[in-house]
Amino acid sequence: MLTERTQPFIPYMKNRSVKAQMECASDEIAQQSCCGPLRPRVKVTVGTRSVVAWGAIIRNNLIYMVSFVLIIFNGCQSTVPEFNSDSAFGFLEQQCDFGPRNPGSTGYYQCRDFLIGELQASADTVIQQQFQLTDPISGEEYQLTNLIGRFNPSATKRLLLGAHWDTRPWADRDPDPARRMEPILGANDGASGVAVLLELVRLMKLIPPPIGVEIVFFDGEDMGLSGDPRSFARGSLAFASDLPIPRPDEAIIIDMIGDADLSIPVERYSMQQNPTLVRELWKLARELDLPAFENRVANAIFDDHIPLWEQAQIPAVDLIDFFYPNRYANFWHTHQDLPQNCSPVSLGQVGTLLTYYIYKDSN
Ligand code: 1BN
Ligand code: ZN
């Protein structure tokens, strides 16, 4: 069953645009002129003569001028829309409602068509990139699909934002051995990153980004064998080995960012591949008061950011919370990877960071 997203999405501006503020200012002036004349009304009586108080005139005019300058100055600051965490969580639930999305499953095809529809409704261009992958256990061959949605593709600066949309065909870390060959639902490992990107897709349709943004939903990330990291991230390998778009300047991958107990230290390979972007993102997270982002370097994880750098020299960073739910328990690659173990607040932290990163230079 599909979850209805009942709340209409009404974005509002953190800092209102120059135009909106000018309109507001002119409304105020219009109101004043309806209620009374713009000419100064203050009079003082000197002896028997009534004279206009010139001091008051100058003071009033100064107030108008200072207000105008402040409005313009405030309008020059960046205009960043608000990221809607509940809407993003609705996208997470919607993907899980399709069931497991491992290659060849019913949920896989339903989800692929849903993602294509969402991109086509909002992006300037949509590209489907197909590639082959053999299931390392059954030997079955699948035709897989990376999906790319391009926004403002002619911009000078272009950022790639990626997440994998496929889910793992096996719950090989589940405590119940009898269920280890069943596919996982992938609420966190799969749906969470895609959910944040789908919300950004909707936002960018409403408010076009000032930079170029390439949204990439990678396929074939999670069909790898435990103990063989290079058998993972096959969609990003196919993408980076044969780029279907001009090479982006930089990339941010998001994976497993829905954990209700979210903690995102710096992933070690990311620090090597793009230390400048790591510092900028974690500084922004500090300024925005996003507590999930921790100022320490942790595990090196073979994720979709590695082929981007190795094959195409795209300096890519991975935002990932590898300990799901924490260091003392594990839901990763188990049947506990469910929406109830994820949170809109967690999606909101990552979504807010990315929204600021995209729109920070707009006005
Ligand atoms: C992330 C989520 N990954 C798989 N599911 C990448 C990964 C590959 C993590 C190998 C650990 C080992
Ligand atoms: Zn996984």
| 168 CA: nearest ligand 1 atom | 5
Q: What tens digit of pLDDT does each residue of 205-258 get?
A: 999 999 999 999 999 999 999 999 999 999 999 999 999 999 999 999 999 999
Q: Which of 102, 189, 221, 303 has the most ligand 1 atoms within 8 A of CB, as the residue to mutate? A: 303
- Nearest-CA neighbor of 319 among 297, 350, 361? 350
At 320 the three-state DSSP class reads: strand
Taking residue 237's Cβ as centre, other Cβ atoms within 10 Å add up to 22
Q: Which of 219, 301, 337 has the most ligand 1 atoms within 8 A of CB, as the residue to mutate? A: 301
Percentage above 90 pLDDT, the chain: 78
Mean pLDDT over 277-300 rounds to 98
Cα 66 to Cα 74: distance, rounded to the nearest angstrom: 12
**Cα-to-centroid distance, 277 and ligand 1 (Å):** 22
**pLDDT classification of 272: cutoffs 50, 70, 90:** very high
The widest CA-to-CA distance across the chain, in whole angstroms, is 106
Q: What is the pLDDT of residue 77?
A: 59
Mean pLDDT over 265-294 rounds to 98
**Cα-to-centroid distance, 303 and ligand 1 (Å):** 6
Q: Does the pLDDT of residue 14 top 70, yes or no?
A: no
Cα 112 to Cα 163: distance, rounded to the nearest angstrom: 14
Mean pLDDT over 125-138 rounds to 98
Output the ligand 1 site: residues, CB below 6 A: 189, 222, 224, 229, 232, 255-256, 301-303
Query: Is the entire prediction scored with pTM above 0.85?
Result: no
**Cα-to-centroid distance, 302 and ligand 1 (Å):** 6
Q: What tens digit of pLDDT does each residue of 307-344 get?
A: 999 999 999 999 999 999 999 999 999 999 999 999 99
- Nearest-CA neighbor of 94 among 335, 262, 339? 339
**Cα-to-centroid distance, 26 and ligand 1 (Å):** 55
Six token digits for residue 164? 């994998």
Q: What is the pLDDT of residue 46?
A: 30
Helices (H), 142-207: 193-206
Q: Which of 13-17, 64-68, 294-298, 311-315 is predicted with the least confidence, judged by mean pLDDT? A: 13-17
Q: What is the pLDDT of residue 48?
A: 33
